[in-house]
Amino acid sequence: MAAIISASIDVSKLPKEKFVKGKKGVWYNFTISVNDDSKYGNNVSLTDSQTKEEREAGKPKDYLGNGKVIWTNGSITKAEADAQPVATTAGSVEDLF
C-alpha cells in the first residue's frame, strides 16, 4: 500500500443516469486526483468519470468532493490491469435498488 486517502462526496450531485447495476451491486464510477499542493487542507479531488467522447468534446468535469492524503510510504505505483473488465448494463435508478 502506498497511500491512504480520506475523502467525502456530495451524493446529491451524483447523476442518477450514471449508476450502473452489476452482478454484485450498484456502482458509480468516479475519478480521484491527488495533487502536489494543498488548498484549504485538502490535496485530493473527486470528479465524475468521463467518457472518451466527453473528454474530447471538452466537457467540464463534474466536481463531487474533496479529501486529503492522510498517510503515504512515499511511493504510489500505477495499477496494471489483471484481466478484461466485466460488462455491465445500466437501467433506471429505481431498477438498481
Q: Are 27 and 20 in contact (CB under 8 A)?
A: yes
Asked if the structure places residue 81 within a domain, the reply is no
| pLDDT above 90 coverage of the chain, percent | 53
Q: What pLDDT is attached to residue 78?
A: 80
Q: What pLDDT is attached to residue 55?
A: 93
| 33-69 residue pLDDT tens | 999 899 999 999 999 999 899 999 999 998 999 999 9
Q: What pLDDT is attached to residue 77?
A: 81
Confidence category of residue 81, pLDDT binned at 50, 70, 90 = confident
Asked if the structure places residue 52 within a domain, the reply is yes
Asked if the structure places residue 79 within a domain, the reply is no
| pLDDT above 70 coverage of the chain, percent | 85
Asked if the structure places residue 11 within a domain, the reply is yes
Q: What pLDDT is attached to residue 52?
A: 93
Range of the domain at 31: 3-73
**Which phi and psi angles does 8 have, rounded to 5°?**
-135, 145
DSSP per position, 70-93: EEE-S--------SPPPP-B---H
- Number of structural domains, the chain? 1
